[in-house]
Amino acid sequence: EVQLLDSGGGLVQPGGSRRLSCGASGFTFRTYAMSWVRQAPGKGLEWVSSISGRGDKTYYADSVKGRFTISRDNSRNTLSLQMNSLRAADTAVYYCAKEKDSSGWWDYWGQGTLVTVSS
């Protein structure tokens, strides 16, 4: 059974940093691209970042480029998102998601972790 467990959310001050993690199990992690997708309170879904299975290719939304860094540790089946220079607009539930065959859509999602940026 595929499982994705998001963690690392919490309250952060504007300008601060936070690192999110996603532990994966039930599939061959290194084989699949992974992504982060977020959802601001009461709003729609927004793609944030994706990384290839080997970790050699990364992609970012313009809204986070230069501030967020996606990475993965295939030896530990873990996906990470380092978030720096956080803004109030970054407040959201962050979901990690498994991409199906590097296709650009996601067949499994984590339960989400809430990041609140506020003073």
Partner 1 sequence: EIVLTQSPGTLSLSPGERATLSCRASQTVTKNNLAWYQQKPGQAPRLLIYGASNRAIDIPDRFSGSGSGTDFTLTISRLEPDDFAVYHCQQYSSTPLTFGGGTKVEIK
Binds partner 1 by CB under 8 A, chosen from 5, 61, 74, 82: 61
Answer yes or no: are the C-beta atoms of 47 and 60 closer than 8 Å: no
- How many chain residues bind partner 1 (CB under 8 A)? 21
DSSP conformation letters of 35-81: EEEEE-TTS-EEEEEEE-TTS--EEE-TTTTTTEEEEEETTTTEEEE
Angstrom distance (rounded) from CA 92 to CA 25:
24
Q: Which amino acid is at 16?
A: G
Lay out the site mask for partner 1 across 64-93 (x = CB under 8 A, - = otherwise): ------------------------------
Strand 3-7's sheet: what is its strand order? 3-7, 18-25, 78-83, 68-73
Lay out the site mask for partner 1 across 2-41 (x = CB under 8 A, - = otherwise): -----------------------------------x----
Q: Which is nearer to partner 1, 44 or 75 (CB)?
A: 44
Q: Does 46 bind partner 1 (CB under 8 A)?
A: yes
Binds partner 1 by CB under 8 A, chosen from 10, 15, 26, 104: 104
Instruction: Tell me which residues touch partner 1 (CB under 8 A).
Output: 37, 44-47, 50, 59, 61-62, 95, 100, 103-112
